[in-house]
C-alpha cells in the first residue's frame, strides 16, 4: 500500500514538471513571436504588406507632384536663360531682345511662384507628417514627400530676384538711353552751330542738358547700391562741355558770328572741354558693369542657383 502511494506521488510530481515545462515552452514561443513582430515593424520593407495600400495611393499622388516639379524646373531653366539674355542685351544696348526678355521673364517668374505655391500646398496636405504615419506608410515613400517639399524651397525668392533684375536693368537701360540721347542731341546742336544757326543750336543744347538732368535723377537712385564714380565722371565732363558750348554759341550769336575776344576765349574753353570728353562709348560699358555689380549680377546668380538646386533635387528623386 505504501509502495502504491509513493508511486502515485512520483507520478504527480512528474506531471507537474511536464505542465510547468509546457508553460515555459509556450512563453518562449510567444516571446519569440513578439520579438519577430517588432523586428519587422510596419513602415519597413520587411512588412511591406502592412503599408501596401497606403504606399500605392500616396505614391501615385507623389508621382503627379514630381511631374509638376519637373515642369517648374523647366520654367526655372528658361528664366535663367532669360536673365542672362537680358543682361547681355542691356550691355549691347539691344532694346528689342532686352524688352522681350523682361516681358517673358516677368510672366514666367509669376507662373513659377504660382505653381510652386500650389504644389507646396498640395504636398503639405498629403499624409506624412502625422504621428502614426510611419506605421501606415513605407519610410521611403514618406522620405520622397519630404524630398519634394525640400526641392520646392529652391524657388523661394525667385520672384524677388527677378523683380530686382527687372528694376535694376530698366534703370540701367533708361540711364544709358539718356546718356546716348544726350550725346546725339549735342551732336545735332554742334551741326546747327557750324551752320551759324546759333539760336537753334542753343535750343537744342537745352534739350541735351535736360537729358543729362534726367540721367542725374537715375544716378541718385543707383547711388544707394552702385559704385557711381565712373558715371559721375561721365556726367561731370559732359556737363562741362554743355556749358562751354552754350557759352560759345551765345558769344557767336551776340557777335553776329564775328571772331571777338569773347568768342576766342569761348572757343579755347570748348576745345579744352572736348579733349576731356570720353573718346568713345567704352565708358558706358564700364557704367553698365558697375550697375551690374550693384545687384543685377547677384539676381542672375540667385536665379541660376535655384535652377541648379532644382535640377539636383529632381535627379536625386529620380534615382533608383
Could you read off the pLDDT of 163-220 as tens digits, one per residue? 999 998 999 899 999 999 999 999 999 999 999 999 999 999 999 999 999 999 999 9
End-to-end CA distance of the chain: 81
Cell 571772331 maps to which residue? 259
Residue 185 backbone class (left: φ over 0; alpha: ψ -120 to 50; beta: rest): alpha
Instruction: State the average pLDDT for the chain.
Output: 84
- DSSP annotation string for 118-173: HHHHHHHHSSSSSTTHHHHS-HHHHHHHHHHHHHHGGGTTHHHHHHHHHHHHHHHH
Is residue 239 over pLDDT 80? Answer: yes
pTM across the whole model: 0.74
* Residue 18 binned pLDDT confidence (cut-offs 50, 70, 90): very low
- pLDDT tens for each residue of 74-108: 999 999 999 999 988 888 878 899 999 999 999 99
- pLDDT tens for each residue of 207-235: 999 999 999 999 999 888 888 999 999 99
CA distances from 26 to 18, 21, 23 (A): 12, 9, 5
pLDDT at 51: 75
pLDDT at 34: 39
Give the torsion sign (CA, 295, 301, 303, 306): negative
Amino acid at each position: 500500500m505504501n509502495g502504491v502511494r509513493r508511486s502515485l506521488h512520483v507520478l504527480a510530481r512528474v506531471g507537474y514538471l511536464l505542465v510547468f515545462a509546457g508553460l515555459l515552452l509556450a512563453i518562449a514561443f510567444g516571446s519569440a513571436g513578439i520579438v519577430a513582430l517588432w523586428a519587422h515593424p510596419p513602415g519597413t520593407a520587411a512588412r511591406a504588406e502592412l503599408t501596401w495600400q497606403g504606399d500605392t495611393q500616396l505614391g501615385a499622388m507623389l508621382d503627379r507632384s514630381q511631374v509638376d516639379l519637373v515642369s517648374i524646373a523647366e520654367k526655372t531653366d528658361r528664366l535663367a536663360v532669360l536673365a542672362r539674355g537680358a543682361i547681355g542685351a542691356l550691355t549691347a544696348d539691344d532694346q528689342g531682345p532686352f524688352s522681350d526678355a523682361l516681358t517673358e521673364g516677368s510672366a514666367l517668374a509669376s507662373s513659377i511662384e504660382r505653381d510652386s505655391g500650389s504644389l507646396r500646398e498640395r504636398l503639405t496636405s498629403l499624409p506624412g507628417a502625422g504621428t502614426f504615419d510611419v506605421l501606415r506608410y513605407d519610410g521611403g515613400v514618406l522620405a520622397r514627400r519630404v524630398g519634394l517639399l525640400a526641392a520646392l524651397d529652391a524657388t523661394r525668392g525667385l520672384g524677388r530676384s527677378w523683380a530686382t533684375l527687372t528694376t535694376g536693368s530698366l534703370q540701367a537701360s533708361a540711364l544709358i538711353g539718356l546718356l546716348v540721347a544726350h550725346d546725339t542731341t549735342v551732336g545735332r546742336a554742334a551741326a546747327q552751330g557750324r551752320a551759324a544757326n546759333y539760336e537753334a543750336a542753343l535750343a537744342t543744347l537745352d534739350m541735351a542738358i535736360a537729358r543729362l538732368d534726367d540721367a542725374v535723377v537715375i544716378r541718385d537712385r543707383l547711388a544707394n547700391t552702385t559704385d557711381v564714380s565712373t558715371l559721375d565722371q561721365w556726367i561731370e565732363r559732359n556737363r562741362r562741355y554743355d556749358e562751354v558750348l552754350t557759352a560759345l554759341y551765345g558769344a557767336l550769336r551776340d557777335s553776329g558770328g564775328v571772331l571777338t575776344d569773347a568768342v576766342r576765349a569761348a572757343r579755347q574753353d570748348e576745345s579744352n572741354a572736348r579733349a576731356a570728353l570720353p573718346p568713345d562709348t567704352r565708358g558706358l560699358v564700364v557704367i553698365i558693369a558697375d550697375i551690374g555689380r550693384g545687384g543685377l549680377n547677384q539676381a542672375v546668380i540667385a536665379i541660376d542657383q535655384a535652377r541648379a538646386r532644382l535640377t539636383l533635387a529632381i535627379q536625386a528623386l529620380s534615382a533608383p
